[in-house]
Structure 1
Amino acid sequence: MRVSVRVAAAVAAVGVAVSAFAGVAEAKPAGTTDLRLIAFNDFHGNLQPPAGSSGRVTLANGTTVDAGGAAYLATHISQLRGQVSNSLVLSAGDNVGASPLNSALFHDEPTIEMMNKVGVSASVIGNHEFDEGYRELLRMQFGGCHPTDGCQFHNPFRGAKFPFLGANITFDNGLPAVLPVTIKFVDGIPVGIIGVTLKDLPSVVTPEAIKGFRFGDEVHAINQTSRLLDLAGIRTQVVLLHQGDSTEGGGPDDCRTLPGPARDIAAAASPSVDVFFTGHSHQQYNCVINDPAGNPRPVIQGASFGRLLSVVDLKIDKKTRDVVRTATVAHNEVVTRTVTPDPAVQALVDESVTKSGPIANRQIGTITADLTRTASAAGETPLGDVIADAQLAATQGNQAQIAMTNPGGIRTDLTYASSPAGEGNGVVTYGEAFAVQPFSNIMQTITLSGAQLKTVLEQQWQVQPNGTTVTRFLQISSTLHYSWSQSAAQGNRVSNITVAGQPVDPAGKYRVSVNNFLAAGGDGFAELAKGSDLAGGPVDLDAFSAYLTGHPNLAPPVADRVAVTQ
């Protein structure tokens, strides 16, 4: 009911804008108003500076710089706001979920409090905002104690001071589930902020978390909401889009995006939209893409984990209340750690670290070198190998023969160097393991035929509606080996599949362990949903932790499970 009231209020606000401004447009003086938009995306509760490659930004010359950390982010935001008279802070989604322990242990309440402190004005809903379902999303918005764990961080938890937006999120009956748009006023000029999440959200979230919801086409939702703003005389329009493109490298302000969904959406959506802040793909880019009328507009993304701030400076004509597109300037600012951390946000971070410390700092294993997500030419990663082996070991009671895990479920590297907690080099703490596997997915073992197993491996290459191919390499246990060809046709890339050293029989039956997200067909692996004889297992984090404990001084495995040919 409260969401419906908020939606109605947003529409009413548009109506008020019509009556307030329709009769005074000619009376406004000439000139422009400056507005700075400051956005981040895919923060994922990284209150502390992220470790390893997750805490570095690659510059245009190929060098890297340490970046990120909520207290440094707050300082950079404050500095950027201090340079202009008008500014808005925005988020392109995935603020929470897949978070380190010092945020996740408290159901990401510290992250929402941090966003309140830095003055966020609006956020689009990302797929991870649905990790714990719609009721938890409403709790993040409106506050209240967790129904199971209560208020363990601050009591009471007051929720976000900014609206969560999703113009393309509806209930099954077609009614809006959240606000589609919010309106801010800058020197009396209304600014419409539209939020749109990815229409493919159901493929990256467990089905039970989004039961009863629909996620519509992004362009349609943008255009529909933009027309409403146009009718209300709101000419300055910004889109927060939780969808992004991949890149071919480059620095924070390079535009080397591969053809992808964000580019397609930005090229097709209403010409009334002046700026696109994107997210989801965790990439850094700063592009200019022409709208359908041929006018340029920025399409920008700031990597992830609070390492970059996407900054767009607008000049708004006071008479037309529209953006002067030719005067727009955009850049990605590195959140360096050389500035003085914001004391209020630092105090919040320190509190979260202290309260989570007894759990986070418990030693569970040791490693001899970094276990990273860096892939071989064949798509295999050291950390992925270890996690798959751990999942196989944890499901032996289900007669599992192989295990496979999705790369998106592996959130950060496991580094050899000691963390700031001082546990020592090579020591793995529960908090570090949690950062790697934060979803609490449940292991499930299913039966697949050999032919189905091959189909699953072929589904690692997924053709998108625009004709491009997205590759999602499953990480596999040491009992599974195969080859794939770079030049082979779609659906016929994989060959030489063996299980425990024996060639796979297409008619044979194999017990395969995956997490419940994959078992439901997540990440486009629809064939896994056809598995039979499902048996449950432990939480994936528990499997990983137990494996680390049982294998002290664990070394990175040899990358010999997958071979690639021309």
Structure 2
Amino acid sequence: MTSRTLLRLALAGAVAAGGLALAPPVTASPQSAAVPHSTIPVRLLTINDLHGNLETPSGSSGRITDENGVVVEGAGGVARLATKIKELRTRNTMLVAAGDLIGASPLVSAAYHDEPTLEILDRLGLRASSAGNHEFDEGYAELQRLMKGGCHPTDGCSPAGEWEGTSFDFLAANVLKEGSGRYALPPFYVKSVNGVKVGFIGLVTQTTPTIVTAEGIKGLRFTEEVEAANKVSRFLARRGVKAQVVLVHEGDQVTQGQSPDACPVVEGAGSRIAKNLDPQIDLVISGHSHQAYICRTTDPAGQPRYYTQGSSFGRVLTQIDLQVDRRTRDVVRSTVTADNHVIRPTITPDAEIAAAVATWKERSAAVANRPLGRITADISNAVNNTSPQLANPETPLGNLIADSQLAAAQPAGAQVALMNPGGIRAPLTYAQSGSEGDGVVTYGEAFTVQPFGNIVQVRTYTGAQLKALLEQQVWSVAANGTVTHRILQVSSSLTYTFDTTKPVGSRVSDIKINGTPVTDGQSVRIAANNFLMGGGDGFTVFTQGTDLWSGPIDLDAFGAYLTAHSPVAPPATGRITFVK
């Protein structure tokens, strides 16, 4: 059977110590007449990191390089994605995903807690997805509600009425409930295709606790991905499910501008997982890093194994074709092929899905179109990471957001504000996005920039702790010259020098607040969002502060600042002096 009910019953007693509980075999549902061949063709269509982008994303988020090296503008949009899915769908096709389908979403989806995106994914026929870290943004209870149904406990029902839940599950074989060790989410999904069973094992990056608010993952434990997947793989194999696919929300980086069908990747956590999974696992579909690649690695038994990812925001649909041997019930590895299709703006949108998106956009318009203030020019969050000489992680928009949080935290005596760059999801553009007029920033546009709904908080630290916090920032250069960094955006009150040529732990110097040097023993009130205050992005020093104060939602602070200082010019960079 393929229903989620049977799978949940099969795993109801699963615990970390005892492995997977025994359950009745997963049996095949009735199928049509068998085809007269020794193998069964199966096609997988996959997406990842949609982040609720129902419409074509704007700016760089809608840009991707195609197979011919041509930069495609305006890629994506679920109505065009739907058309491509229908074009490629055959008799034995399954649509699956690798996480972050929701969370950090545009307002058209987020205004109603991503129910619009989940409704449309159901219409597209999504069978299963691994959980991503962003699926936990609003907490485990909310993720359960989205899967099972019911109205939001605070905001109530959307204009569409009571939410019915999804017909697919988010899977996570490496997320356990604290205490009991039981699976927090179903670890796998099995589908029978013409008499052969294909199993999908879900995984989410084990780093989730460092990139999601503490409240979002409260009561959950995230374990190492390979060990968790291998345990489920062995269970499935014993139950006759030999064709196995891992959906993992973890991936690698690539050289910018390469073909979406190209390899290699800059090997990282994604490659580690793809190489070390049990040889029984035939294919790895990844996400999280927002890259497009088609790679082949080898499993621990030396067999070839495909490892793919399909970019983000609905810009790419991955097609994977394979044959399953009727006798062995396993994938014939030599038959596996994969192709990343760019969702081009020339694709005719599917009329039904386009109408559904338009309905949700109309429902959210009253909120989205409210003006907050004006800007005098584009305010960018873009960073050039192609070489150490060109990279400058301090951005005008990052500085502006830090300034807004400092202003909001003044009642608590804040002297400095710091902002995580990963929480800034889009630039502010001067050109109008609708009919509001050039330079006008609407609530919807501001929401696109900061969609997480984090709270501005303040704690007290010593000067030595401020330095230790800044030393936790990341700057590294790969062999190909690509720069990886995690540099906090700073308010205008803070200046310092960051010397990338020095060893980690001794890179920060000349820290000043409003021009006055900071001493190790002095007290400093620092403002940041609750994600950072909980130690997010690896900034554990944030958790060492005292005298916690909680203020407004970060988006409200940003909107109030834009209103009070309108028109706002792009802030100058240079608050951080980088030595490269």
Decide which of 469, 490, 501 is 2:515's aligned counterpart. 501
Cα displacement (A) at 1:247: 2.3
| Contact residue 73 and residue 306 of structure 1 kept, 8 A | yes
CA shift digits 1:268-294 (9 cap, x unpaired): 111111111111122222211111111
User: In the alignment, which residue of structure 1 is the partner of 2:14?
Assistant: none
1:239-254 paired onto structure 2 within 5 Å: 239-249=246-256, 250-254=258-262
Decide which of 208, 213, 227 is 1:206's aligned counterpart. 213
1:475-494 paired onto structure 2 within 5 Å: 475-494=489-508
| Contact residue 13 and residue 183 of structure 1 kept, 8 A | no
| Contact residue 110 and residue 153 of structure 1 kept, 8 A | no
Whether 2:106 is the aligned partner of 1:106: answer: no
**Structure 1 unmatched ranges of 5 or more:** 22-26
Cα displacement (A) at 1:539: 0.8
User: In the alignment, which residue of structure 1 is the partner of 2:446?
Assistant: 433
CA shift digits 1:173-225 (9 cap, x unpaired): 11111111110111211000000111121111111222221111100111001
| 1-structure distance, mates of 2:313, 2:216 | 24
Whether 2:436 is the aligned partner of 1:423: answer: yes
Q: Secondary structure at the match of 2:94?
A: strand
| Contact residue 3 and residue 177 of structure 1 kept, 8 A | no
Whether 2:358 is the aligned partner of 1:350: answer: yes
Decide whether aligned partners of structure 1 residues 417 and 19 sit closer, same or farther in structure 2, where only a CA change above 3 A counts: closer
Q: Secondary structure at the match of 1:311?
A: strand
CA shift digits 1:95-133 (9 cap, x unpaired): 111111111111111111000010000011111111111
Which 4+ residue blocks in structure 1 deviate beyond 6 angstroms? 2-5, 10-14, 18-21
CA shift digits 1:325-378 (9 cap, x unpaired): 122111211111211111111111111111111110111122222222212623
| Contact residue 14 and residue 229 of structure 1 kept, 8 A | no
| Contact residue 106 and residue 447 of structure 2 kept, 8 A | yes
Decide whether aligned partners of structure 1 residues 212 and 151 sit closer, same or farther in structure 2, where only a CA change above 3 A counts: same
| Contact residue 42 and residue 282 of structure 1 kept, 8 A | yes
| 2-structure distance, mates of 1:387, 1:295 | 49
Decide which of 345, 358, 368 is 1:337's aligned counterpart. 345
User: In the alignment, which residue of structure 1 is the partner of 2:9?
Assistant: 8
Tell me the amino acid that sits aligned with residue 541 of structure 2.
E
Q: Secondary structure at the match of 1:344?
A: helix
| Contact residue 28 and residue 318 of structure 1 kept, 8 A | no
Decide which of 261, 273, 279 is 2:281's aligned counterpart. 273
Identity %: 48
Q: Secondary structure at the match of 1:66?
A: coil
Whether 2:100 is the aligned partner of 1:94: answer: yes
Decide which of 152, 155, 180 is 2:161's aligned counterpart. 155
| 1-structure distance, mates of 2:417, 2:22 | 53
| 2-structure distance, mates of 1:80, 1:13 | 38
User: In the alignment, which residue of structure 2 is the partner of 1:231?
Assistant: 238
Q: Secondary structure at the match of 1:498?
A: strand
Whether 2:394 is the aligned partner of 1:380: answer: yes
Tell me the amino acid that sits aligned with residue 148 of structure 1.
T
| 2-structure distance, mates of 1:284, 1:113 | 26
**Structure 2 unmatched ranges of 5 or more:** 12-19, 385-390, 477-481
1:397-476 paired onto structure 2 within 5 Å: 397-419=411-433, 421-461=434-474, 471-476=485-490
Q: Secondary structure at the match of 1:208?
A: coil
| Contact residue 18 and residue 233 of structure 1 kept, 8 A | no
| Contact residue 458 and residue 492 of structure 1 kept, 8 A | yes
User: In the alignment, which residue of structure 2 is the partner of 1:124?
Assistant: 130
**How many positions carry a matched residue from both structures?**
553
Decide whether aligned partners of structure 1 residues 209 and 462 sit closer, same or farther in structure 2, where only a CA change above 3 A counts: farther
Decide whether aligned partners of structure 1 residues 4 and 492 sit closer, same or farther in structure 2, where only a CA change above 3 A counts: farther
| 1-structure distance, mates of 2:519, 2:396 | 28
User: In the alignment, which residue of structure 2 is the partner of 1:541?
Assistant: 555
1:179-194 paired onto structure 2 within 5 Å: 179-194=186-201
Tell me the amino acid that sits aligned with residue 16 of structure 1.
P
| 1-structure distance, mates of 2:343, 2:23 | 35
Cα displacement (A) at 1:310: 1.9
Q: Secondary structure at the match of 1:404?
A: strand
Q: Secondary structure at the match of 1:310?
A: strand
Whether 2:46 is the aligned partner of 1:50: answer: no
| 1-structure distance, mates of 2:320, 2:102 | 24
CA shift digits 1:296-331 (9 cap, x unpaired): 212111221111112211122222222121221112
Q: TM-score if structure 2 supplies the norm length?
A: 0.91
Whether 2:150 is the aligned partner of 1:144: answer: yes
Across the aligned residues of Structure 1 and Structure 2, the Cα RMSD in angstroms comes to 2.3
Q: Secondary structure at the match of 2:25?
A: helix
Tell me the amino acid that sits aligned with residue 194 of structure 1.
I
Whether 2:296 is the aligned partner of 1:283: answer: no
| Contact residue 34 and residue 314 of structure 1 kept, 8 A | yes
Decide which of 316, 322, 333 is 1:325's aligned counterpart. 333
Decide whether aligned partners of structure 1 residues 319 and 282 sit closer, same or farther in structure 2, where only a CA change above 3 A counts: same
| 1-structure distance, mates of 2:235, 2:394 | 48
Q: Secondary structure at the match of 2:101?
A: coil
Q: Secondary structure at the match of 1:185?
A: strand
User: In the alignment, which residue of structure 2 is the partner of 1:292?
Assistant: 300
| 1-structure distance, mates of 2:397, 2:550 | 23
| 2-structure distance, mates of 1:494, 1:29 | 69
| 2-structure distance, mates of 1:516, 1:113 | 30
Cα displacement (A) at 1:4: 8.8
| Contact residue 126 and residue 197 of structure 1 kept, 8 A | yes
User: In the alignment, which residue of structure 2 is the partner of 1:395?
Assistant: 409
| 1-structure distance, mates of 2:502, 2:78 | 46
Tell me the amino acid that sits aligned with residue 80 of structure 2.
Y
Decide whether aligned partners of structure 1 residues 469 and 3 sit closer, same or farther in structure 2, where only a CA change above 3 A counts: farther
Decide whether aligned partners of structure 1 residues 14 and 59 sit closer, same or farther in structure 2, where only a CA change above 3 A counts: farther
Cα displacement (A) at 1:469: 10
Decide which of 38, 51, 72 is 1:31's aligned counterpart. 38
